[in-house]
Amino acid sequence: MQADRPTSNDDAPSAAGVRVPLRTVAGVRVADTSLVRRAVGIAQANMEPYLFNHVMRSWLFATLIAERDGIRLDAEVLAVSAVLHDIGLAEAFAGPLRFEVEGANLARKLAVESGVDARRAQLIWDSIALNSTPSICLHKEPEAAVCLMGVGLDWGGWGYDAVAADARGSILAEYPRLGMKRGFTRAICRLCEQRPETTYDNFARDFGTRFVPGYRAASMVDALLDAPFDE
């Protein structure tokens, strides 16, 4: 895509004290490192188009939210976290764990292989694994919280007015939604049908309960009351 080409050699300091090369994507200045480019390549090669566009919009919205609020953060960590936050929904990376954890494991491995230190790699893991658990993720480090805000804006419209209308328009023009609501619903319902055990303790159970015939989530009440203790 045109917007994915570097447009200058500008850079900016990140919260980690490392100067990060920048490029312009849909009018937004974002990190442009080899790790970020690799993450974008993996996402584009393996995600359905609607899902790839979603993760790109999430990254751009998150970046604008951080700029608006003056939040100083690690732009490379934010980029990798946002771009790969749904990679666990791609068939190529499906596994026995919650899709968020499958994606977090992949992203952390990619970061470590690219020379990212253990602390920053773990922050990428946390940002992805917790991105659908806002009651925890919003209280994590700025990278994780802001990543969630960008995802939440694009997914559920939370904080919709946090990004100016003209900026939203530019982002949506570059990365249109392509039936996001229907596509994402189908993806989560497939999880509920094929790997229901990974959906009982996250938001996916809501999709299973509403849309998947015969779906029945395990109850934590039963787990407590059926525990093998006398009382």
Domain positions in the chain: 2-178, 179-226
pLDDT value of position 156 = 97
pLDDT value of position 231 = 81
Residue type, 141: E
Give the list of residues 6+ apart from residue 155 with CB closer than 8 angstroms, or none: 54, 58, 184
pTM: 0.92
Q: Does domain 2-178 have CATH number 3.40.718.10?
A: no
pLDDT value of position 1 = 34
| Ramachandran angles phi, psi of 135, nearest 5° | -65, -20
pLDDT value of position 71 = 97
The alpha carbon dihedral of 94, 95, 98, 104 has a sign of negative
Q: Which two tokens stand for residue 220?
A: 């934590």
Q: Tens digit of pLDDT per residue, the chain (231 long)?
A: 333 433 344 665 455 566 789 999 999 999 999 999 999 999 999 999 999 999 999 999 999 999 999 999 999 999 999 999 999 999 999 999 999 999 999 999 999 999 999 999 999 999 999 999 999 999 999 999 999 999 999 999 999 998 999 999 999 999 999 999 999 999 999 999 999 999 999 999 999 999 999 999 999 999 999 999 988
